[in-house]
A and B are shown apart, each in its own frame.
Chain A
Amino acid sequence: MCLAVPGKIVNLLDDSDPALRRATVDFAGVRKEVSLAFTPEAAAGDYVLVHVGFALSVVDEAEAEKIFEYLREMQELEDAGESPP
């Protein structure tokens, strides 16, 4: 378990009651209304992970980049003729 898909918040709806706060989230052109009840910090333009109609987390873009930084470092070491750790 479990399928949670990253999508971009394009439009906030219903801001008054935090428990009922929703947003239109875009998944590569497909849009669905998603509950933001569990991501009160989410703002338009953020990417959220959505599971069964609820955003469970806001994607941390800096953390997301880390694996690619590591891979770039590995590549640089290899190119320099060194064996990466």
Chain B
Amino acid sequence: MNELSLSLSCPVPLPAGDRILLAHGGGGRLMHQLLEMVFLPAFANAPLEARHDGAVVTVNGVRLAFTTDSYVVRPLVFPGGNIGDLAVNGTVNDLAMCGARPLYLSAGFILEEGLAMETLRLVTASMRAAAERAGVALVTGDTKVVDQGKGDGIFINTAGIGLVECAGEIGPAAVRPGDAVLLSGDLGAHGVAVLSVREGLEFESPIVSDTAPLWEPVEAMLKAGIEIHCLRDLTRGGLASALNEIADVRRLAIRIEEAAVPVEEAVKGACEILGLDPLYVANEGRFVAFVPEAQAEAALAALGRRAVRIGTVLDDPSAVVILHSRIGGHRVLDLLSGEQLPRIC
């Protein structure tokens, strides 16, 4: 058949560092590096330096939160939702994580030639329903179409504006040693739901994406008078990535109790089969909150019965995230280089 000659002196070998890899979008260490080495230096300014999900800017004395996010998920439709739900909730949540009431969204669509109109209608209907549920209006948008083969069906970018309703600054900089780390609910549902329909890995499961708007619980904490230091919604890279990002920016270590982290049985089953660690699996409707130790109980009461305390911020500049394991040992939870892959070993 074909003779392949693998010449090790092939012209212009591609060193891995000169190209964008899928891993650069994975929410892990490589994406982090991309931000630090390419984007942040290009656009340096104070709100960007805060390295938080959204930017808080002041206009005529009024504090507004402003954020953007792009949605490239495949498959477009998965158990519990579709790209439209993510596009609305994701941006709504970035605003909520700034302590801002989400108000208005824009949506930019990049559609692939050949996309079924029915799919577009489904996605649009989901966006409308999600926007209603989140209390936001989609007030402006844009559409472009690219050649077949140049896009994954639909790419959506949404940007959002919200009104900041908390008195202080919410962000990594406000985190203090001794702060309680709270988690709003169980982990891993979104990532597993998406994998359950991915070719080559499919399995039958009752798991649906946890995509949801998160302003309500944040508002509940604010109304209860909680001095929220930091909020972060968990997306790609899961809980471990979010904690690492905050630990890294704030230069404080965080300790987490494995036994305290809730994972639904079916999610656990799926992760066991695929060799995935739930701490790194994507979520779309969960967040962590850093609050003063003294207010931990009150904050949990405001968040509702699914929320739990999972750990504490340490007075330690090593900025590692330490997991106290179920059997009593310790492990460092590091940022992954790229996205977590299923394994057999």
Contact = CB atoms under 8 A, between A and B. Distances in A.
Interface residues of B, number: 17
Interface in A1-58: 1-3, 5, 7, 24, 27-32, 50-52
B129 interface: no
22 contacts: A1-B344, A2-B345, A3-B343, A3-B344, A5-B273, A7-B273, A24-B204, A27-B269, A27-B273, A28-B266, A28-B269, A28-B272, A29-B205, A29-B207, A29-B266, A29-B269, A30-B196, A30-B204, A30-B270, A31-B204, A32-B203, A52-B344
Interface of A: 1-3, 5, 7, 24, 27-32, 50-52
Chain A, interface SS category: strand
Nearest to A27: B269
B225 interface: no
B147 interface: no
Contacts of A27: 269-270, 272-273
Contacts of B275: 3
Interface in B319-345: 343-345
Contacts of A30: 196, 203-205, 207, 266, 269-270, 273
A51 B203 contact: no
Given A30-B203, A30-B205, A31-B205, A50 B273 contact: yes
A32 B202 CA distance: 8
B3 interface: no
A2 B273 CA distance: 11
Nearest to B266: A29
B266 A51 contact: no
B206 interface: yes
A34 B138 CA distance: 46
